[in-house]
Amino acid sequence: MPISRRTFLKIFGSGLAATGLTEVICKRSGWAASIPSAKIKEAQITHSICPYCGVGCGLVAYTKNGKLVDVEGDPDHPINQGTLCSKGQAVFEVVTSPRRLKKVRYRAPGSDHWEEKPLDWAMQTLAQRVKATRDSSFITKSPGGVTVNRTEALASIGGAALNNEECYLLAKLSRALGIVYLEHQARL
């Protein structure tokens, strides 16, 4: 049986009354109380995990036409059960902040300012720097004749804010380059 909006609201309303929660939930009076907030109405739902501490709270991101309209705690998540702390509630601003970087910034040696650069140029130039540093410092054998194939002039730090698959690719690439100065937030 199709449930009309009116029937649904009736059932919902009586259900609330039965649980005695009407006054708690229905801060607004009348039908308005049971209408979902316009912000997330008809929004698309995406599940995620909070990017801050290690509790791993579930998030629900609401989007409309590709734009983020709200982020809330995931009510189905066993750990946070819909709740979030002050940082978790700020995830919305992490995405929408005007301070977020949109272009590659480059600072030449001795310069006192940034320049914007194309992404392709920056990736190619960085690869050249990595290769030049690696090749000019590469140690193939130790003084004792052991094959060591490492560089001590290149370092890579960070990764605790990344996804596992990203960390894995970095772990793989840095070993391929012979990097031994490899560190991240686990020690800090």
Partner 1 sequence: MTNHWNDIANSDCVMIIGCNPAENHPISFKWITQAQEKGAKLIVVDPRFTRSAAKSDLFVRLRPGTDIALMGGLIHYILEKNLFHKEYVINYTNASFVINKDFGFHDGLFSGFNPEKHAYDTATWGYQTGPDGKPLTDPTLTDPHCVFQLLKAQYARYTPEMVAITTGVPKEVFLKMAATYAATGQPGKSGTVMYAMGGTQHSTGVEIIRSYTIVQQLLGNMGVAGGGINALRGENNVQGSTDMALLFNLVPGYLVAPMEAAHPTLKDYLDKNTPKASFMINMPKFFVSLLKAFWGDAAKKENDFAYDYLPKAGAGFQGAGYSWIPLFEAMGAGIIKGILVWGMNPAVSSPNLNQTYQALDKLEWLAAFDLWETDTSVFWKRPGADPKKIKTEVFLFPAADSLEKEGSASNSGRWVQWRYQAVKPHGDAQSDLWYANRLGLELQKLYKGDPKAVFPAPIVNLNWNYGAAPDVHQVAKEVNGYTVADKKQVLNFLALKDDGSTACGCWIYSGSYPGPDKKNNLMARRDKKDPSGIGLYSNWSWAWPVNRRIIYNRCSADPAGQPYNPKRVLVRWDPAANAWKNNDVPDFGWINPATKAQIPPEVSAKTPFIMLPEGKSRIFVPGGLCKEGPFPEHYEALECPFHNPMSPVQSNPVVKIWKSALSQLAEVCDPRFPIIATTFRVTEHWQGGAMTRNLAWQAEMMPEMFVEMSPSLAKAKGIKAGDWVKVKSIRGEVLARADVTHRVAPFCCGTGGFQNTVEMVALPWHFGFAGLITGGPNGHNYAANQLAPEVGDANTMIPEYKVFLVNLEKA
Cα-trace Rg, the chain: 26
Please give the residues from 39 up to 58 whose contact with partner 1 meets the rule CB under 8 A: 46-58
Nearer of residues 26 and 184 to partner 1, judged by Cβ: 184
**How near is the Cβ of 102 to partner 1 at its closest, in Å?**
3
- Name which position in 11, 32, 68, 72 contacts partner 1 (CB under 8 A): 68
The closest alpha carbon to 61, from 49, 72, 50, 75, belongs to 72
Contact residue for partner 1 among 11, 12, 39, 152 (CB under 8 A) = 152
Q: What residues form DSSP beta bridges with 126?
A: none
Q: Is residue 115 near partner 1 by the rule CB under 8 A?
A: no
- Interface with partner 1 includes 72 (CB under 8 A)? no
Which of 12, 181 has the CB closer to partner 1? 181
Q: Which residues contact 137 (CB under 8 A, 6 or more apart)?
A: 151, 152, 153, 154
Element (H, E) at 179: strand 179-183
Does residue 142 touch partner 1 according to CB under 8 A? yes
Does 169 help bind partner 1 (rule: CB under 8 A)?
Answer: yes
The DSSP code sequence of 2-32 is PPPHHHHHHHHHHHHHHHT-HHHH--S-GGG
Q: Does 21 bind partner 1 (CB under 8 A)?
A: no
Q: In angstroms, give the least distance from the CB of 42 to partner 1.
A: 16
Residue 20 touching partner 1 (CB under 8 A): no
> By CB under 8 A, is residue 10 in contact with partner 1?
no
Minimum Å distance from CB 39 to partner 1?
A: 15
Number of residues that bind partner 1 (CB under 8 A): 115
Q: Is 163 helix (H, G, I), strand (E, B) or coil?
A: coil
Q: How many CA atoms lie within 13 A of 139 on its CB side?
A: 15
- Give yes or no for a contact between 55 and 79, defined as CB atoms under 8 angstroms apart: yes
